[in-house]
Amino acid sequence: MKKFLNTLFVTTQGAYLNKDGEAVVVNVDHEVKLRLPIHALGGIVCFGNVICSPFLMHHCAQNNVLISFLSEHGRFLARVHGPESGNVLLRREQYRRADDPQESARIAKAVVAGKTANCRSVLQRAVRDYGEDGQMANVAGAARELAASIHFAGKAQSLDELRGLEGDASRIYFGVFDHLIRTQKADFSFKERSRRPPLDNINALLSFVYTLLVHDCEAALAAVGLDAQVGFLHRDRPGRPSLALDLMEEFRPFFADRLVLSLVNLKQVQGDGFRKTESGAVEMTDDTRKAVLVAYQKRRK
C-alpha cells in the first residue's frame, strides 16, 4: 500500500531549514519552529527567501523528497532532487513510447478524455447543487457539449486532433466557469483564463494551486522512476515537466478547480487578500496564501 506523505510548505521569509539526524528542522531568527521526521515528508516547497542547508538537500535527495523553490508569490524558480530512482528499463520504454506518434496519441487520448470527463463532472455537480436557474441552464448545456467532446476524443487518431479537442473542451468549460462562483462576485468574477501573470483574483488562485499540483505530480513521478520531462500530450520543451503536466490534467477540474471554488464560495478567502502590482499582475497576501496552503493540504489528504 502506498502511503501518501505530507508536503512541507515554508512561507516565512528568512526561514532556514537544516538537517538534524533524521529530521528536517525549520529555524526562524535562530529559534526552532518545527521539527519533522524525513520519512513523513513527500516534498518541501519554499516560498521566497527561504534557505536550505546543503546537508539537508543531500538528505532529501537520498530519501526521494523533492524540494521546490518558488518566488514569494508562487512563481516557480528551481527544484532539487536526487538521482533518478526506479528501473532504467522503465524510462527507456517511456522514451520509446514518447517517440512513437501512435503510442503517444493512445496515451494522450486517455489524458484528454479523463480531463474532459472530470470537467463535465464539476459542471454536473454544480447543476445538482444549485438547480437549473438561468445560469445553471448554460452550465448544463456546457456539460452536454463536453459529453460530445469525450466521444470525439475516443475516436481521435493524432496528437494534433487531440490537442484541438482538448482546447475546445477547455473553452467550453471555462466559458461557464463564472457561473460556478456563487458568492463575492464583485471580487471574484471570471472572464477568461490568464496566466504569466494572472490578471484577476480567480486566476491568481488557479495558477497558485496548479503550481502546487505540478510539484506533487513531479514528486509522484520521481518516486516511481519516470522522467517528468518526457510527456505525451505535452511534448518536450527545455525546462518543462511535460509528463507532470500530462498527469495533472485529470486532477485540475475536480481537485484544483473545485478547491478554488470552495475557497471563494465558502468565503475562506476575501477580495482584500489580493493586490495588483504596477505590471497588472494580481498577487495574494501572506495570510491568503497560507489559507490556500492549509486548504490544499486538507484537500490533498
Q: Quick one: cell of 97? A: 513510447
CATH class of 6-80: alpha beta
Which pLDDT value is given to residue 54? 92
- The mean pLDDT value for 143-151 works out to 91
Please, are residues 240 and 196 in contact by the beta-carbon 8 Å criterion?
no
Which pLDDT value is given to residue 86? 65
Please, are residues 60 and 198 in contact by the beta-carbon 8 Å criterion?
no
What confidence tens digit (pLDDT) does each residue in 188-211 have? 888 888 877 888 899 999 999 998
Is the model's pLDDT at 292 over the cut of 60? yes
Q: For residue 247, which of 220, 225, 224 has the smallest C-alpha distance? A: 220
> Cα–Cα distance between 264 and 260 in angstroms, integer?
6
> In the structure, what pLDDT confidence band is assigned to residue 5 with cuts at 50, 70 and 90?
low
Is the model's pLDDT at 1 over the cut of 60? no
The Cβ of residue 34 has, within 10 Å, a number of other Cβ atoms equal to 15
Q: What's the whole-model pTM score?
A: 0.81
> In the structure, what pLDDT confidence band is assigned to residue 132 with cuts at 50, 70 and 90?
low
Q: Which is it for strands 23-28 and 51-52: parallel, antiparallel or unpaired? A: unpaired
- The mean pLDDT value for 163-179 works out to 92
Is the model's pLDDT at 19 over the cut of 60? yes
The Cβ of residue 50 has, within 10 Å, a number of other Cβ atoms equal to 21
What confidence tens digit (pLDDT) does each residue in 246-272 have? 999 999 999 999 999 999 999 998 888
Hey, which residues does 46 pair with through a beta bridge?
10, 69
The torsion angles phi and psi of 275, rounded to 5 degrees, stand at: -140, 150
What confidence tens digit (pLDDT) does each residue in 100-123 have? 999 999 999 999 999 999 999 999
Which pLDDT value is given to residue 100? 93
Q: Which of 45-49, 128-132, 234-238 has the highest mean pLDDT?
A: 45-49
Is domain 88-300 in CATH 1.20.120.920, yes or no? Answer: yes
The Cβ of residue 95 has, within 10 Å, a number of other Cβ atoms equal to 11
CA dihedral 93, 99, 102, 105 (to 10 degrees): 90
- The mean pLDDT value for 231-258 works out to 90
> Cα–Cα distance between 221 and 260 in angstroms, integer?
25
Mark out the alpha helices in the chain (DSSP H runs): 54-62, 88-99, 101-130, 134-155, 159-175, 201-224, 242-249, 251, 258-265, 286-300
> Cα–Cα distance between 173 and 24 in angstroms, integer?
42
Residue 212 burial (C-beta neighbours within 10 Å; 0-12, 13-18, 19+): buried
> In the structure, what pLDDT confidence band is assigned to residue 3 with cuts at 50, 70 and 90?
very low
The torsion angles phi and psi of 145, rounded to 5 degrees, stand at: -65, -40
Q: Domain residues of the chain, as ranges?
A: 6-80, 88-300
Percent of the chain with pLDDT over 70: 96
From 76-90, 156-170, 282-296, the region with the lowest mean pLDDT = 76-90
